[in-house]
Structure 1
Amino acid sequence: MSYGEDQPTFEELMEVAQKQQEVIEIYEQQMDASRLECSKLTEENDKKSEIIKLMETSEILLKAEIESLRNKKEMKAETKQKPEETREDRELETIEELRLKCKELTYKLESMKTQQTSLEIELETQKKNNEFVRNELIEERKQRASEKDRLTSNYQILEQQLKQNMEEIQTKLNKSKMELGQLKTDLEMKEHREKQLERLYEDVMVEVNEIRKEKSAVVVRCSSMSAEIGELKAKNQQLKARILGNENDMEDMNKLLGDQSHLIAALREETKLLARKVEVDSREYRTTIKTLKHDKRELQQRIEALLRVD
């Protein structure tokens, strides 16, 4: 089956569809990897958010504790006239340690906030990338669905045309088989007729040969009778000279000679007629056999042509 040069074949369409399927699978793998990465980033971000919340809570508690210690110190300074230097030193050391701890926690908190901001930016970028990939994947799926519909339509058209061509070929094949059967029947009939004519021709030739033999025999007989007539004429002349008074014998002799002459003429005419009839029949039989042989060759050629087509 042939189509226009600009129309792709079914194999080319299937190859394009296979390539598109591979591209879509690659996009899906990238999408799954991006989702997994986003999930990991989200988990890390949640963990860092919890840590930051804990640090903020610790900072608040430390500040509250420092404020409480300051208040206690002031209250003790007011109530006690004699400060206890040793205790104050310990409290001051504790306060200083708490301040250092607070600064350290504040630094860590700021550092984690910075990391969180960076992670949020990275997460946002990844989300945008994922959105872009998702849009491309959706568009690719739409194109794939459209291409699938087009391929399905082309496949249905190809299948319908193939079915139609198969039906036409089957119809032609059945017709050829019928014609071949008819030709074989005709050939068998002609061969049978040819054999009959050949047998008839052989019979005719046998009859012709027999007629020819009979003709030869008749010719020989005619020649013999002609010789006898000559002898009879000679004897007749002799008898005329010897027997002048015997008229009855002369009449009988003349009558006999006349009958023999008529018989010889009739035999000659019959021989000529038989020879002409044999010649005409032989010519007709030869013409008929020649025609039958020609028809047989034509039938054999037609049968061979039909067999080559099948």
Structure 2
Amino acid sequence: MEAANGLPSAEELMELVNKQDSVIECLQEKLDISNEQVRLFREAEEKRRHSENESSEIVVAAEQRISSAMAAVQSLKTQNEKLENELEKLSKITEQEKPVPSVIQLRNRVKELEFNLVREQRAAANLQNEVAFQKRRVDQLQSELDACHKKSASVAYSLSSKLDESVKELIELKIKYQSGLNERDQIASELGGKVEASRRPPEEEGEQVQQLLKDQCHLIDALREESKLLLCQLESERKKYRYGTYQ
């Protein structure tokens, strides 16, 4: 409805304000979605430290979107306040018959706001889809990380058990070797003048000790090789996981 002198009516200005409010509500919804996205990635960042760089970049991008959305909301709020001021002045302008913007301009402004509203609604929908996708990605990365941790723990436990067995065998070997030395010293003491001869361990005992030492060396070498293979495997898994994270 137009005023009697062809000026915009209070209803038309009120409609313009309502359109502006709709755009603000849409941007507020978009802001809430962005906040939810930031929350999700911060939680994911705490759970998976190995993908910290990726999460940080996503969080920074989301925060930038939030800043842009907040700036847009603030801009629209400012425009809305101006329109409300125009609405408050309308009655005075009508009474004093002062010139105001034409109805056509206001209607064009309403159409522009409707277009902006549709655009922001689409942007909000796209952002919501992106949040859902990133949430699925976080869940997938968490599952991969858990599997990697379980595998590493299993391998580490196996290696630890083998090292414990090796230490146990070394202790037993040391005891046997010390026993041989004690027996040798006892023989040397009994033989008196034949100390030098008695210091040589019995041939059979010497062969047994040498064989034990040889077997233990082989075991240690095998453990070293297995440790190298384990380290290579863990490094490969780490590179594979990191490569998969940045895809």
Which range, TM-score by smaller chain? 0.5 to 0.7
1:22 matches 2:60:
yes
1:131 matches 2:169:
no
Unaligned runs of 5+ in 1: 1-9, 60-101, 207-281
Trace 1:109-120 onto structure 2 (pairs within 5 A): 109=100, 111-120=101-110
1:187 matches 2:177:
yes
Contact in 1 for aligned 2:180/2:205 (Cα 8 Å): yes
Q: Could you tell me which of 66, 72, 75 is aligned with 1:34?
A: 72
- The structure that has the greater radius of gyration is 1
Contact in 1 for aligned 2:180/2:201 (Cα 8 Å): no
Pair 1:177–1:289, CA change in 2 (3 A) = same
Report the CA distance between 1:152 and its aligned residue.
Answer: 2.1
| SS class of match (1:161) | helix
CA distance in 1, matches of 2:149, 2:202: 54
What amino acid does structure 2 have at the position aligned with 1:156? D
Report the CA distance between 1:159 and its aligned residue.
Answer: 2.4
Query: For residues 73-131 of structure 1, what are the alpha-carbon distances to aligned partners after superposition, in whole Å with 9 as ceiling and x for unaligned?
Result: xxxxxxxxxxxxxxxxxxxxxxxxxxxxx5xx3xx23x253443343344334323432
The total of aligned residue pairs comes to 176
Match of 1:293 in 2: 206
Q: Could you tell me which of 168, 181, 206 is aligned with 2:158?
A: 168
Contact in 1 for aligned 2:188/2:194 (Cα 8 Å): no
Contact in 1 for aligned 2:170/2:216 (Cα 8 Å): yes
1:47 matches 2:85:
yes
Contact in 1 for aligned 2:177/2:209 (Cα 8 Å): yes
* Percentage of matched positions with identical amino acids: 14
Match of 2:95 in 1: 58
Report the CA distance between 1:200 and its aligned residue.
Answer: 6.4
Trace 1:140-179 onto structure 2 (pairs within 5 A): 140-179=130-169
Contact in 2 for aligned 1:187/1:296 (Cα 8 Å): yes
Query: For residues 175-195 of structure 1, what are the alpha-carbon distances to aligned partners after superposition, in whole Å with 9 as ceiling and x for unaligned?
Result: 122111111112112233344
Report the CA distance between 1:28 and its aligned residue.
Answer: 1.6
Contact in 2 for aligned 1:24/1:137 (Cα 8 Å): no
What amino acid does structure 1 have at the position aligned with 2:208? D
CA RMSD of aligned residues (A): 3.8
Provide TM-score, normalisation by structure 1. 0.45
Query: For residues 167-212 of structure 1, what are the alpha-carbon distances to aligned partners after superposition, in whole Å with 9 as ceiling and x for unaligned?
Result: 2233222212211111111211223334445566776799xxxxxx
Match of 1:210 in 2: none
Report the CA distance between 1:42 and its aligned residue.
Answer: 1.9
CA distance in 2, matches of 1:163, 1:133: 44
Query: For residues 134-170 of structure 1, what are the alpha-carbon distances to aligned partners after superposition, in whole Å with 9 as ceiling and x for unaligned?
Result: 2232122212221221222222222222332232233
Match of 2:18 in 1: none
Match of 1:212 in 2: none
What amino acid does structure 1 have at the position aligned with 2:148? L
Contact in 2 for aligned 1:176/1:306 (Cα 8 Å): yes
Contact in 2 for aligned 1:180/1:303 (Cα 8 Å): yes
Match of 2:39 in 1: none
CA distance in 1, matches of 2:105, 2:82: 11
CA distance in 1, matches of 2:204, 2:193: 19
Report the CA distance between 1:22 and its aligned residue.
Answer: 2.0
Unaligned runs of 5+ in 2: 1-47, 225-247
Contact in 2 for aligned 1:28/1:137 (Cα 8 Å): no
CA distance in 2, matches of 1:163, 1:175: 18
Pair 1:32–1:158, CA change in 2 (3 A) = same
Trace 1:233-272 onto structure 2 (pairs within 5 A): none
Pair 1:192–1:299, CA change in 2 (3 A) = farther
What amino acid does structure 1 have at the position aligned with 2:69? M
Contact in 1 for aligned 2:188/2:195 (Cα 8 Å): no
CA distance in 2, matches of 1:205, 1:20: 79
